[in-house]
């Protein structure tokens, strides 16, 4: 039984460590421009494997210099119903996400109770 608890604890610690890693990585992007994104790397790999030569060029620009239309397009690509939200926030989606997290926490607590002494 101790082995199961130890394994469960390791899984929880690994999950928390992963979340912390993502939090730090996202927070650093506010100050340091990322060299590339996952999408850029996957496209670079696809192009490199399909063609003989590959050239990559990227130039970061200040937020104020980015077209408002492009900003809206990025938001729309992330949330197709963005324009329909009165305040720009999809409260129903947030509520569903919160419910999923709460259910996961309840499942973890139940597993701990089940594995308890």
Per-residue pLDDT of the chain in tens (117 residues, 90 and over written 9): 788 888 889 999 999 999 999 889 888 877 887 777 788 888 888 887 877 666 767 788 888 999 999 988 887 777 667 667 676 677 777 777 777 777 667 666 666 666 655
Helix (H) or strand (E) holding 14: helix 2-28
State the alpha helices, DSSP H only, in 29-90.
Answer: 38-50, 68-78
Q: Give residue for tokens 């077209």.
A: 67
Residue 12 pLDDT: 92
Residue 58, C-beta contacts closer than 8 angstroms, at least 6 positions apart:
36, 40
Sign of CA dihedral 45, 48, 51, 57: positive
Domain ranges of the chain: 1-33
Q: Under DSSP, is residue 35 helix (H, G, I), strand (E, B) or coil? A: coil
Residue 68 pLDDT: 92
Residue 114 pLDDT: 63
Residue 88 pLDDT: 66
Put simply, whether the predicted model's pTM sits higher than 0.85 gets the answer: no
* CA distances to 44, 73, 89 from 79, in Å: 26, 10, 10
Q: With contact defined as beta carbons under 8 Å apart, do 16 and 105 qualify?
A: no
Q: Under DSSP, is residue 33 helix (H, G, I), strand (E, B) or coil? A: coil
Rg (CA), the chain: 21
The two tokens of residue 88 are 């720009």
């Amino acid at each position: 039984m101790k082995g199961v608890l130890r394994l469960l604890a390791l899984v929880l610690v690994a999950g928390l460590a992963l979340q912390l890693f993502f939090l730090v990585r996202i927070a650093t992007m506010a100050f340091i421009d990322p060299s590339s994104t996952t999408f850029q790397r996957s496209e670079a790999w696809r192009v490199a494997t399909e063609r003989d030569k590959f050239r990559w060029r990227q130039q970061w620009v200040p937020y104020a210099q980015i077209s408002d239309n492009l900003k809206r397009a990025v938001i729309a690509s992330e949330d197709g119903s963005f324009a329909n939200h009165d305040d720009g926030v999809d409260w129903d989606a947030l509520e569903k996400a919160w419910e999923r997290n709460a259910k996961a926490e309840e499942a973890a607590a139940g597993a701990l109770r089940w594995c308890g002494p």
